[in-house]
Amino acid sequence: MRDQFYKYIENLQDTICSKLEEIDGSAQFQQDLWEREEGGGGRTRVIENGAVFEKGGVNISAVHGPLAPAMQKYFKVGDVDFFACGLSLVIHPKNPMVPTVHANWRYFEMYDKTGTVLDQWFGGGQDLTPYYLFEEDAIHFHQVSKNACGKHSPEFYPEYKQKCDEYFWNSHRNEARGIGGLFFDYLKDSEEKSIENWYDFVIEVGDSFLEAYAPIVEKRKNLEYSQENRTWQEIRRGRYVEFNLVHDKGTLFGLKTNGRIESILMSLPPHVQWVYDHHPEPGSEEEKLLKVLEKPRNWV
């Protein structure tokens, strides 16, 4: 399973990067191959200063070795070994009318010291963070996600949408990071679903990503915007940074397992503002977004 899934994310990385380069039209992804001292490594690809994408990363990695003490405590296990692989992406467009997107699909195994698999599971999801709310874009993103889930179970979309709304919640601000999508974790072998069934589901979601995001970028990338729109985008990006550094489990896992810092922090946008006690104009498009972020909405 680990080899099968890694092969899948290698191919998916190629597909996504090619499509995003085509949309941008000027910038290309720079590739960085790296190795981890304790075992494994990855293939980081970053795009910067493009016509459409200000900064983005589409990274894959496969790491293994002894599980760090901090993570043993987190998983409530003893001295075990692990293998983890996944694709993680964050795309920050230049135009404030185009939303930021994040996605991640990952697989994890845990072994005893004889190499016997003790546990294995999949996790992941995809979510959208707009700066200006176009409701049809939110509906489109959620509809594609729902369609992918629906091929496997009618219960998946409502369950994983709710998990996404709960997970990407900036509790210290009492607001959502964005308009959500899907979030799932610890998808394990059970009587209802085998690990092979979960693999099929996760790749279904992975394959749906470009269909969910690319049409939105194409539709919004040439819209006009002002310096005020750009300032608002940078203020909202500050909230994105806060979530990733304060709450995000993936970031914290990477930092606690001696992960590669450049790959972990590639999710951070290049231009951000923190303005003291900032409030948008009443009745403005900016305020409209904040109202939606106060309470998760059912888009489809």
Structure tokens at 80: 């075990």
Structure tokens at 120: 């294995």
Structure tokens at 14: 């190629």
- Can you tell me the distance from the alpha carbon of 250 to that of 113, in angstroms, rounded to the nearest whole number? 25
Q: Is the dihedral of CA 120, 56, 178, 141 positive or negative?
A: negative
- Can you tell me the distance from the alpha carbon of 6 to that of 9, in angstroms, rounded to the nearest whole number? 5
The catalytic residues are: 102
- Can you tell me the distance from the alpha carbon of 90 to that of 213, in angstroms, rounded to the nearest whole number? 12
Strand ordering across the sheet containing 53-66: 30-35, 40-48, 53-66, 81-93, 100-111, 117-129, 180-187
> 138: helix, coil or strand?
helix
Which helix H or strand E contains 42, and what residues bound it?
strand 40-48
Partner residues linked to 244 by β-bridges? none
- Can you tell me the distance from the alpha carbon of 85 to that of 83, in angstroms, rounded to the nearest whole number? 7
**Residues 219 and 137: beta-carbon distance below 8 Å:** yes
How much is the CA Rg of the chain, to the nearest whole Å? 19
- Can you tell me the distance from the alpha carbon of 49 to that of 97, in angstroms, rounded to the nearest whole number? 17
